[in-house]
């Protein structure tokens, strides 16, 4: 089984593919409630619980784990240096949990590398997350999205989509 994760401090996307590339799990784990998750460590504990449900309750054992690589450089107009550092810390904590508790050493795939492996091209001026979501809705029958009353994808939709692309890119790399 292949686990693909899109790790962020607000919502984590998680997708599990079988060895044949079939999706058996594609969900998002919401960590935005500051009362429930007041620190990075509380958020990491929740991710650990969700991974344990997959592993111990659903009996899904991860042969390979792929994680979206965190941004490596500050870019004006995007995330601040503080945000990048926080994301990198959280990514490291979750990666450690994967190794220590589930004996799965994650491999990291950059978002653009994963999109390219899956045949997704983001045109100049387009938003990558929306392009990925549209690609999956057009090409993957198993991928569905719910919408708010204003017609926007519900929170977690983009994270699920990104985790799907990370898992699929990992699967493609394994099978090529």
Q: Is the pLDDT of residue 94 over 60?
A: yes
The model's pTM? 0.91
CA dist 157 and 144 (Å) reads: 9
Residue 33 has pLDDT above 70, yes or no: yes
pLDDT in tens, 115-124: 999 999 998 8
DSSP codes of every residue in the chain: -EEEEE--SSEEEEEEE-TTS-EEEEEEEE---TTT--SHHHHHHHHHHHHHIIIIIS----SEEEEEPPP-S--TTS--HHHHHHHHHHHHHHHHHHHHHH---EEEE-HHHHHHHTT----TTS-HHHHHHHHHHHH-TT----B-TTSPBPTTHHHHHHHHHHHHHHHHHHT-
User: Could you tell me the CA-to-CA distances from 107 to 4, 32, 98, 99, 148 in Å, in that order?
Assistant: 10, 26, 11, 11, 34
Give 31 or 176, the one with higher predicted confidence.
31
Given the DSSP bridges, would you call strands 11-17 and 2-6 parallel, antiparallel or unpaired?
antiparallel
Structure-model confidence comparison of residues 112 and 79, the more confident one: 112
61 vs 4, which has greater pLDDT?
A: 4
User: Which domains, from first to last, does the chain contain?
Assistant: 2-174 (3.30.420.10)
């Amino acid at each position: 089984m292949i686990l693909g994760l899109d790790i962020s401090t607000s919502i984590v996307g998680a997708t599990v593919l079988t060895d044949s590339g079939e999706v058996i799990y594609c969900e998002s784990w919401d960590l935005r409630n500051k009362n429930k998750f007041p620190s990075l460590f509380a958020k990491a504990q929740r991710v650990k619980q969700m991974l344990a449900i997959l592993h111990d309750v659903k009996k899904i054992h991860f042969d390979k784990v792929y994680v979206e690589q965190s941004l490596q450089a500050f870019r004006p107009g995007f995330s601040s240096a503080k945000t990048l550092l926080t994301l990198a810390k959280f990514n490291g904590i979750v990666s450690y949990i994967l190794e220590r508790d589930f004996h799965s050493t994650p491999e990291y795939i950059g978002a653009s590398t994963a999109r390219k492996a899956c045949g997704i091209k983001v045109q100049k001026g387009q938003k990558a997350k929306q392009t990925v979501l549209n690609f999956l809705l057009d090409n993957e029958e198993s991928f569905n999205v719910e919408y708010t009353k204003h017609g926007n994808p519900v929170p977690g939709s983009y994270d699920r989509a990104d985790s799907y692309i990370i898992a699929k890119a990992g699967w493609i790399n394994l099978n090529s």
